[in-house]
Chains A and B, each alone.
Chain A
Amino acid sequence: EAQVTQNPRYLITVTGKKLTVTCSQNMNHEYMSWYRQDPGLGLRQIYYSMNVEVTDKGDVPEGYKVSRKEKRNFPLILESPSPNQTSLYFCASSLGWQGRSGELFFGEGSRLTVL
């Protein structure tokens, strides 16, 4: 089954404790991206990657890091989480040209709470 898998689905952590949210897709997609969803603000893109070793900032990259060492994986790293990073996070992927056009496949989301 074609899917985008995120882990963990739920996480409660404390300020400053580094964490990683993993994302993996089994569709051989070139394009992968991370979004955060906040009430009243909709979806905002954090980072995206057009292919292995090619990443770039989205609209709200501050406080986040990413890496793309393999085509299927695109982890999101919070080096020193803060309470304003409490949010619902989505990973999404797409074939290259479709990612550019906006047709995305989303994971089920990771709800992060930073105390």
Chain B
Amino acid sequence: GDSVTQMEGPVTLSEEAFLTINCTYTATGYPSLFWYVQYPGEGLQLLLKATKADDKGSNKGFEATYRKETTSFHLEKGSVQVSDSAVYFCALGTSGGSYIPTFGRGTSLIVHP
């Protein structure tokens, strides 16, 4: 079945450092790919998405490119801020007849001043 693998956290960085959170997937068909962010005490929010191969999703300085050849959707940001501290989830949209999106286990990011 479909699956999403994210790097384990926590990822701890200093402010203004470069961020990469790795995400790889296995899927049948051609699903959309998503990154969601969960700030402390809140629900998940969509951060960015890509719907087909080579698409780049971007939002709030974060970027991720849908790489079909490597089945990856790595999240990057050039300069993180303390306010980026959160849990980040990579997610695979459904394809074929399934109506159940698949989420990774989440990666906690801690940014120190």
Partners in one complex: yes
What is the interface of chain A, defined by CB distance below 8 A to chain B?
Answer: 4, 31, 35, 40-45, 48, 50, 56, 58-59, 90, 92, 99-109
* Cβ of B110 under 8 Å from chain A: no
* Chain B residues in the interface with A (C-beta under 8 A): 31-32, 34, 36, 41-46, 49, 51, 89, 91-94, 99-101, 103-106
Q: Are B42 and A102 in contact (CB under 8 A)?
A: no
Chain A positions within 8 Å of B49 at CB level: 103
Report whether A59 and B100 are in contact in the complex, using a CB–CB cutoff of 8 Å: yes
Count: A-B pairs, CB below 8 Å:
63
B104 adjacent to A106 (CB under 8 Å): no
Residues of A within 8 A of B51 (CB): 101
Partner of A100, one of B46, B99, B104: B99
Q: Can you pick out 11 interface pairs between chain A and chain B where the beta carbons lie within 8 Å of each other?
A: A42-B103, A44-B103, A48-B100, A59-B100, A100-B99, A101-B51, A102-B93, A103-B32, A103-B46, A103-B49, A107-B43
Docked pose: A35 CA to B49 CA in angstroms: 20
Contact check: which of B42, B100, B106 meets A45 at CB < 8 Å?
B100
Q: Is the CB of B101 within 8 A of A104?
A: yes
A43 near B99 with CB under 8 A, answer no
Q: CB distance B105 to A102 under 8 Å?
A: no
Please, which residue of chain A has its CB at the minimum distance from the CB of B33?
A: A102
Q: How far is the CB of B87 from chain A (nearest CB, A)?
A: 9
Name the CB-closest residue of A to B49. A103
Among all A-B residue pairs, the 5 with the closest Cβ atoms = A102-B93, A106-B43, A42-B105, A102-B101, A101-B93
Give every chain B residue within 8 A of A4 (Cβ-Cβ): 43
Q: Which residues of A contact B94 (CB under 8 A)?
A: 100-102
Residues on B with C-beta less than 8 A from A109 are: 42-43
In the bound assembly, the distance between CA atoms of A48 and B43 in angstroms comes to 18
A43 x B31 contact (CB < 8 A): no
With contacts A42-B89, A102-B93 taken as known, whether A90 is within 8 angstroms of B34 at the C-beta atoms is no
